[in-house]
């Protein structure tokens, strides 16, 4: 039985995890949902620029005295923090839907979360995913050195603790990618790694004693300790992030230029397209 399960395991039974780089937790979150290095920070910046353009188109069409600042983005900050709309658009590429857990359509997941496949969690400026891989649940928080295994029983309690602590939780549904060629994806970025469940457990155990005995920590809410105690987890941009900031700034400028060339009276079909792509 175990051999049969191993034979059908996705990605050869390996887990894909990304460790925190700058403030790119949204990138890490999307890629661990997909279980592979499918998106870069520049891919998400391009999606953010497109969303900004659509939002400005809608504002121009609606008229009024207020128009958004063409140099300001509501979907990405210069240090790489992305909005939920950007994560939604990225996952839509793979025919995946992001649903607020407190919405009526997600009600079954509130009672039986173990029957789902993935959740996205957000608080302040941090994103991470909880994902079922090969029948087992893992916490793929990029602030952890390795994915942390969650029992099916603990999953429900864990999600409840997150919600009670102010986290926004989103359910992800759809057809998840079955495979990501490991050989071709190795070295695609500096923060992704493939781990066996055994290696992930070993790394987690070696880190848990330090994390759980830190001042102010607790076993129930240990996920919040590394991030919330310092507000931004002490994750700061350095000189290596200047390329990212420049790329995002360039995307914002391109978006602003495109808006200036758009007539105020544009076809209704463009307006409908913009409305469909912006969801809270």
User: Which residues are annotated as catalytic?
Assistant: 25, 126, 141
CB–CB of 258/266 below 8 Å? no
Q: What is the token pair recorded at 102?
A: 């407190």
Instruction: Give the contacts of 241 (CB within 8 A, at least 6 positions apart).
Output: 22, 79, 80
Distances in Å between the Cα of 46 and the Cα atoms of 4, 120, 255 are 42, 21, 10
Q: Which residues share a beta bridge with 137?
A: 132, 150
Nearest-angstrom CA–CA distance, 90 and 80: 15
Distance, in Å, from the CA atom of 270 to the CA atom of 212, rounded to the nearest integer, reads 52
Going by the DSSP 8-state scheme, the letter that residue 76 receives in this structure is B
What DSSP designation does 82 have? B
CA end-to-end span of the chain: 44
Give dist(CA 249, CA 119) in Å, integer. Answer: 30
Which candidate, 91, 70, 71, 113, places its Cα nearest to that of 26? 91
């Amino acid at each position: 039985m175990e051999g049969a399960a191993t034979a059908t395991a996705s990605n050869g039974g390996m887990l894909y995890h990304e460790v925190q780089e700058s403030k790119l937790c949204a990138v890490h979150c999307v890629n661990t949902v997909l279980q592979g290095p499918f998106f870069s920070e520049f891919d998400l910046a391009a999606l953010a620029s497109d969303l900004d353009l659509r939002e400005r188109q809608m504002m121009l069409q609606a008229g009024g005295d207020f128009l958004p600042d063409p140099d300001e983005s509501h979907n990405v900050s210069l240090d790489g923090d992305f909005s939920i709309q950007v994560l939604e658009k990225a996952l839509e590429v793979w025919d995946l839907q992001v649903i607020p857990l407190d919405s009526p359509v997600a009600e079954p997941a509130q009672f039986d979360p173990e029957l789902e496949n993935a959740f996205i969690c957000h608080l302040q400026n941090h994103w991470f995913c909880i994902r079922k891989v090969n029948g087992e649940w893992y916490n793929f928080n990029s602030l952890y050195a390795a994915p942390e295994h969650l029992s099916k029983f603990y999953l429900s309690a864990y999600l409840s603790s997150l919600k009670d602590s102010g986290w926004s939780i989103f359910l992800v549904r759809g057809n998840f990618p079955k495979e990501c060629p490991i050989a071709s994806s190795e070295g695609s970025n500096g923060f992704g790694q493939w781990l066996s469940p055994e290696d992930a457990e070993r790394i987690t155990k070696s880190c848990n004693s330090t994390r759980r005995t830190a001042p102010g920590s607790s076993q129930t809410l240990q996920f919040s300790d590394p991030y919330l105690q310092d507000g931004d987890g002490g994750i700061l941009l350095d000189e290596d992030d200047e390329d990212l900031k420049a790329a995002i700034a360039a995307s914002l400028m391109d978006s602003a230029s495109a808006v200036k060339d758009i007539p105020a009276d544009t076809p209704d079909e463009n307006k409908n397209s913009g409305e469909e792509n912006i969801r809270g």
